[in-house]
Amino acid sequence: MALIPPSYCFVAFPPRTKEGLVIFGKNSARPRDEVQEVVYFAAATHDPGCKVECTYIEIDQVPKTHAVVLSRPSWLWGAEMGANEHGVCIANKATATKEAASETEALLGMDLVRLGLERGATAKEALDVIVSLLEEYGQGGNYYEDGNSCHAFQSAYLITDRKEAWVLETIGKYWAAEKITEGTKCICSQLSLTTKIDAEHPELRSYAENQGWWTADTEFNFAQVFSQADNHSDCCLGKESLDKQEGDITVQTMIDVLRDKARGVCVDSESFLTTGSMVSALPQNPSSPCIHYFTGTPDPSRSIFKPFIFVDDVKLVPKVQSPVFGSDDPVKKIPRFQKKVDRRHELYRAHEWIQSVIESDQEKGQNLRRTMLGLEKQGLEAMENILTSSEVLDPSEVEDLFYDCVDTEIKFLK
């Protein structure tokens, strides 16, 4: 069985957080050499009957899609994590279950992240989109850019908006979900739902019973029923760090948790690396903008979180987007992934260079790191001022926000 990448997703609600914010965070652990890019797609309308080409299959398009910003492995259509213009954030993780994941190409869990964001204006709408598409098209196919072996997984999601979050866990087309409106929540590579289930596939329990995994005269505990073994306890290593900050959880707190290598939240192993990270601040006041922070580079402990705000004329950022190979892309050819292409974008290359500097000259590397963290702090303070200001945000002031942050980072790295 393929190794499960140990990704971590978090959400924290007021009053655990400061300033009435819902704070969302995700580390994306993926194969070490995979490149993750940050891409923006504007809201769009679509002709009746048209299709959308996802990673492996085509599905029916909807009349209108929302604007989205995504952090994604650069070879696929979907995303590991992202947000939309309505303040919905979604993160995906692979899970190990008794039910073997399908290798037959269908929708990837990462495709469903993007589809949920493009089609759902609230967390609950996005959940409904995902489970509807799961029922119609199924999930399956290779989660890695690997022509030698198929790595297929079941998927789970943390779906969040300004008011609530949903934890959605899937077994093939079957699923269960829990609604979260307070405290902190973490999900990882183990199933986390137990007896508190607020929505579920209508045939979920009968399916479990038919498989011999559950009997109707016992309490239905999702994790116990569907986990591979008895080891289905809370696996979230960073939650205790959030809980210690009760009432004081900030964006910086979430960033610090995602950078925590000692507890294993920031993954750096022989097989896997945290290849991208995201933190979002979602004000419960609808007149305040949501602010999303992306690294676009591996290892948050040596990356910078850069802010993004949805406005009508967002400036695209080619320097954090990977090259496009079109019909020559190995993911598009059958059989797939028969060769490797260089997907590194300009920011990724700059980070590679600076890592070599750090390894050869630690003092110079440490000085540069301090400078970069100082820039990040300035950005966090500027965004905090936006969130606490009583004035209405002028969209023209933040159209170039993410572009300028990436550009400044590259200049300093060079």
> Does a cis peptide bond (omega within 30 degrees of 0) precede residue 73?
no
Of the candidates 92, 35, 120, the one whose C-alpha atom is nearest the C-alpha of residue 343 is: 35
**CA-based torsion, 95, 97, 103, 105: positive or negative:** negative
Distance, in Å, from the CA atom of 370 to the CA atom of 351, rounded to the nearest integer, reads: 15
Task: Please check whether residue 29 is in contact with residue 267, taking contact to mean a CB–CB distance below 8 angstroms.
Answer: yes
> Is 9 annotated as catalytic?
yes
Q: Which tokens is 378 given?
A: 């300035």
Q: What is the largest CA-CA distance in the chain?
A: 65
Catalytically annotated residue among 9, 89, 266, 290: 9
Looking at the DSSP assignment, which residues form a beta bridge with residue 279? 25, 293
> Does a cis peptide bond (omega within 30 degrees of 0) precede residue 335?
yes
Instruction: Output 390-395 pairs: Cβ under 8 A, ≥24 positions apart.
Output: 392/287, 393/289, 393/309, 395/311, 395/312, 395/313
> Which residues lie below 8 Å from residue 368, measured CB to CB, with a gap of 6+?
354, 357, 358, 412, 413
DSSP 265: S
Q: For residues 39, 44, 50 and 52, what is the CA-based torsion angle, rounded to 10 degrees?
A: 20
For residue 272, the surrounding DSSP H or E stretch is strand 272-283
Alpha carbon distances (Å) from 83 to 42, 86, 117, 122, 160:
12, 8, 6, 11, 9
Distance, in Å, from the CA atom of 8 to the CA atom of 93, rounded to the nearest integer, reads: 8
Q: Count CB-CB contacts under 10 A for residue 191.
A: 27
Residues with catalytic function: 9
